[in-house]
Chain A
């Protein structure tokens, strides 16, 4: 580089190589332009994609908002309607004052009085009680044509519970119900009204439950076909024994909770204790 040493700045001359390189610029395509274009293109694409994603998010959020906004109102209305409809059905079907319209405090008293020792009924005693209650109910129930139809199948069905316990050893029905119900009376449920009211000759359903004992219920339609699963102890068949008041045992079965839907017609309800022994049965016309 000795040739590049100058004593004066004025003597500095541009090397020919530099000039040739500068002149060659116009002969070569410059890549920087393409890069700038690609940057502009990518920036434009980014802006478009950002705007589209923002629009999509807004649309989705708005649709979700309106969807939930629309859903809220019908739910509230349905709740009110179903509650009133169940209340009406219970009011219509209850024969005694101790059903729905009765205060909860009074039902609590009744259940407190009815300790679960009342379940310890000998089959023979049960028969006598059943006949007693059937006679009393016949007196109290209105003499409409439908009610008569309901009582007739139930009286015929009352024969069946008397058969099975007599076939079984007499110890089993008396011992085992006394064990299990004493374990479960602490189970409480909120005030509920069964959607299916069992109003047989000996049993009255539609009861505001306070303290209850779990039993099991199988439901047969008029053709004798079992509703639900074949396993008795399935959750679908779980029912509640509420206690005894005025020589009447109260059972309730929450069909709506089990996902069962009834059509109009006669249904036979067979209640079993936790050991699988039949306690009682009756027929109910469901409208």
Chain B
């Protein structure tokens, strides 16, 4: 079983961090992120798609990971108890003026995904539109609004 010339083991080791980061950014919870991480690679193992390149494989993994996170949020976050002690498993970032990661986690998920993929993973807007299944203009407007909100969170003025 090979995926774009890589074995399953090589694929897991190469793209584990990417999948983990997306899960953490999306869910902000280690336990939930682990579930979605495992589900993503189960989907890869069961997948029969022939990947054209490693970029295609990476984009597919990101897409599947985001879908898994969305499904997980729909299924389980609605029934999450408010009394549950989530301090130990919640993912938080300390405020650091040299990094905006802590501010990114406070954005809504629709802005967070695009900003993360654009600034952290280095995807172009067209590629983000393909991965997320959105129109290019939608991606552009979401990116702009996300940057404005990010600026507002960091204490700056919104243009």
Task: Give me the interface of A with B, judged by CB distance under 8 Å.
Answer: 1, 4-10, 12-15, 18-19, 21-23, 25-26, 30, 32-33
Closest chain B residue to A36, Cβ basis: B46
Closest chain B residue to A22, Cβ basis: B41
B residues near A12, Cβ cutoff 8 Å? 17, 20-21, 24
Determine how close the nearest CB of chain A comes to the CB of B90; give it in whole angstroms. 8
What is the bound-complex CA distance between A183 and B124, given in angstroms? Answer: 111
User: Any chain A CB within 8 A of the CB of B92?
Assistant: yes
User: Any chain A CB within 8 A of the CB of B131?
Assistant: no
Determine how close the nearest CB of chain A comes to the CB of B85; give it in whole angstroms. 12
Q: How many A-B residue pairs have CB under 8 A?
A: 73
Determine how close the nearest CB of chain B comes to the CB of A64; give it in whole angstroms. 51
* Residue contacts A-B, CB under 8 angstroms, 25 given: A1-B30, A1-B89, A5-B92, A5-B93, A7-B93, A7-B102, A8-B93, A8-B99, A8-B101, A9-B21, A9-B104, A10-B120, A12-B21, A14-B20, A18-B16, A18-B38, A19-B16, A22-B37, A23-B8, A23-B12, A26-B8, A26-B9, A26-B45, A30-B46, A33-B46
- Scan B4-42; emit 1 where CB is below 8 A from any A CB, else 0: 000011001100110111001100001000100110011
What is the bound-complex CA distance between A30 and B120, given in angstroms? Answer: 34
Closest chain B residue to A25, Cβ basis: B45
Point out which of A1, A12, A21 has the most chain B C-beta atoms below 10 A from its C-beta: A12
User: Any chain A CB within 8 A of the CB of B91?
Assistant: yes
B residues near A26, Cβ cutoff 8 Å? 1, 8-9, 45
Decide: B17 and A9 in contact? CB cutoff 8 A.
Answer: no
Determine how close the nearest CB of chain A comes to the CB of B91; give it in whole angstroms. 7
Decide: A22 and B38 in contact? CB cutoff 8 A.
Answer: yes
What is the bound-complex CA distance between A10 and B121, given in angstroms? Answer: 10
Known A4-B30, A22-B12; 20 more pairs at CB < 8 Å:
A5-B94, A8-B99, A9-B101, A9-B104, A9-B116, A10-B120, A12-B17, A12-B21, A13-B17, A14-B17, A14-B20, A14-B37, A18-B37, A19-B12, A19-B16, A22-B16, A23-B8, A26-B9, A30-B42, A30-B46
- Scan B64-104; emit 1 where CB is below 8 A from any A CB, else 0: 00000000000000000000000011011110100101101
Point out which of B12, B24, B30, B88 has the most chain A C-beta atoms below 10 A from its C-beta: B12
Decide: A9 and B24 in contact? CB cutoff 8 A.
Answer: yes
A residues near B45, Cβ cutoff 8 Å? 25-26, 30
What is the bound-complex CA distance between A22 and B1, given in angstroms? Answer: 15
Count chain B residues whose beta carbon lies closer than 8 angstroms to a beta carbon of A: 33
- Scan B137-159; emit 1 where CB is below 8 A from any A CB, else 0: 00000000000000000000000
Say what secondary structure dominates the interface of chain B: helix
Decide: B96 and A7 in contact? CB cutoff 8 A.
Answer: yes
B residues near A1, Cβ cutoff 8 Å? 30, 88-89
Closest chain B residue to A33, Cβ basis: B46
Closest chain B residue to A11, Cβ basis: B101
What is the bound-complex CA distance between A8 and B30, given in angstroms? Answer: 15
What is the bound-complex CA distance between A22 and B11, given in angstroms? Answer: 10
What is the bound-complex CA distance between A21 and B37, given in angstroms? Answer: 10
Determine how close the nearest CB of chain B comes to the CB of A95; give it in whole angstroms. 99
What is the bound-complex CA distance between A53 and B140, given in angstroms? Answer: 57
Point out which of A5, A7, A14, A33 has the most chain B C-beta atoms below 10 A from its C-beta: A14
B residues near A4, Cβ cutoff 8 Å? 30, 91
Closest chain A residue to B11, Cβ basis: A22
What is the bound-complex CA distance between A19 and B17, given in angstroms? Answer: 10
What is the bound-complex CA distance between A12 and B46, given in angstroms? Answer: 27
Kindly identify which residue among A8, A19, A25 contacts B96, using a CB–CB cutoff of 8 Å.
A8
Decide: A21 and B21 in contact? CB cutoff 8 A.
Answer: no
Determine how close the nearest CB of chain B comes to the CB of A5; give it in whole angstroms. 7
Decide: B116 and A18 in contact? CB cutoff 8 A.
Answer: no
Closest chain B residue to A19, Cβ basis: B16
